[in-house]
Amino acid sequence: MADDLHQTAKALVAPNKGILAADESFPTIEKRFKSISIESTEENRRAYRDMLFTTQGLEEFISGVILFDETIRQSSSDGTPFPRLLESKGIIPGIKVDTGAKDLALFPEEKVTEGLDGLRGRCEEYVGLGARFTKWRAVITIGDDIPSDFCILANAHALARYAALSQEAGMVPIVEPEVLMDGDHRIERCYDATARTLTALFEQLDAHRVDIKGTLLKTNMVLSGKDAADRAGIEEVARQTVKVLGETVPDGLPGVVFLSGGQSDGEATAHLNAMNQIDHGAWELSFSYGRALQAPALSAWAGDAAKVDEGQKALYHRSRLNGAARTGSYDPRMETEAA
C-alpha cells in the first residue's frame, strides 16, 4: 500500500499540473452563487461542477480534484459518477473529510478543526466511492497574542490523526494548515506563525508514524495581511515562502500545493511562478486553488446552460496559466491571451 500512496502523491504534483479545489461547503457555494444571482440548489451545484469537470483538456494542467461529500455522490449529465468521469480523464478524485473549523474552547478568536469522530468509517466509504486522496484544513489566525502555542498544537495533532487514518484507508492525505491573510500584520508576523505551525505539524506527523512520502502539504504563502499598509511584493513573498519551507519541511515530502487564500487570481499565479524561478529544494511547488481557478469560470457561466463553453474556456485558460507557473514560465501578458 505504501507504494500506491507514494505513486499517487507524486502523480498529484506531476510537472505542469496542480489540483482543483472544488470542495466548497454549502455556505461557501451559496455565497459564490449569489454573486451570479442563482440559487444554490442541488441541481445547480451539480450542473456547475459538471461544467468544470467536463472541460476539454483540463487534464493537461489539473492532476486531481478535491470533491465535497455531496459532489462525490453526484453524476455528470450522462449519468457517469463524477469520480469515474475524472478518472477517465486521468484526473485523480479526492475528498474533503473535515467538518469545519470551530471555536477553540477558552481560546478567544482561535479555531480548531473537527471531524475525527467517525472518520475511519467515512474514509472507507469514500474509498468505495472512488476517492484516492483526502484533505483536512486547519485555520490559524494572526492577532493580538495569537496564534497561541496550544491552538497550533491542537490543530497539528488533529491533522496528524487525520493523516494517519487516511493512510490506513489507502488514501494520500493533504494536510492543510492555513495561516489566514486577515489583518494588517507585516509579512514577518506571517512568517513566524507559518514557521511555528509547520514545525508543530511535522513533529506530530512523525509522532503519529505518518508516511511523509505518501503525504502532501497544502499551506499558505508567506504574505502580508490583506489590510497591511505596505504589503510585501511578489519577489519578497516568494523568498520568504521558500525560506520557511526550507526551515520546516522534510526533504521526503513529494510536494507543496499552495492555497490561494484570499489572493486575486493573478497574484496567486505570479507568486507561485516567482517561487519556481528560484532554488526551492527537493519539493515540487504546485497549486491547489479553489476560487483562484474557478472565479473566471463561474462568472462566464453565470448559471446559463448556453454558456457552458464560455465557462470551460475560462477554467482552461486559468489552469494553463497556473501550469506555466509550475515551471516559472508564466508571464502577466499571458492573462490577456485567448484560451
Name the residues annotated as catalytic: 176, 218
Strands (E), 212-338: 216-217, 255-258, 284-289
C-alpha span between 128 and 292 (Å, rounded)? 30
C-alpha span between 331 and 269 (Å, rounded)? 10
Tell me 68's DSSP state.
Answer: P
From the number of C-beta atoms within 10 Å of its C-beta (0-12, 13-18, 19+), residue 60 rates as middle
C-alpha span between 150 and 107 (Å, rounded)? 9
Stated length of the chain: 339
C-alpha span between 51 and 314 (Å, rounded)? 11
Q: Give the side-chain half-sphere CA count within 13 A for 277.
A: 18
From the number of C-beta atoms within 10 Å of its C-beta (0-12, 13-18, 19+), residue 235 rates as middle
- Assess contact for 113 and 138: CB atoms under 8 A: yes
Which stretch of DSSP H or E encloses residue 273? helix 265-275
From the number of C-beta atoms within 10 Å of its C-beta (0-12, 13-18, 19+), residue 107 rates as middle
- Assess contact for 172 and 135: CB atoms under 8 A: no
- Assess contact for 315 and 58: CB atoms under 8 A: yes
16: left (phi over 0), alpha (psi -120 to 50) or beta: left
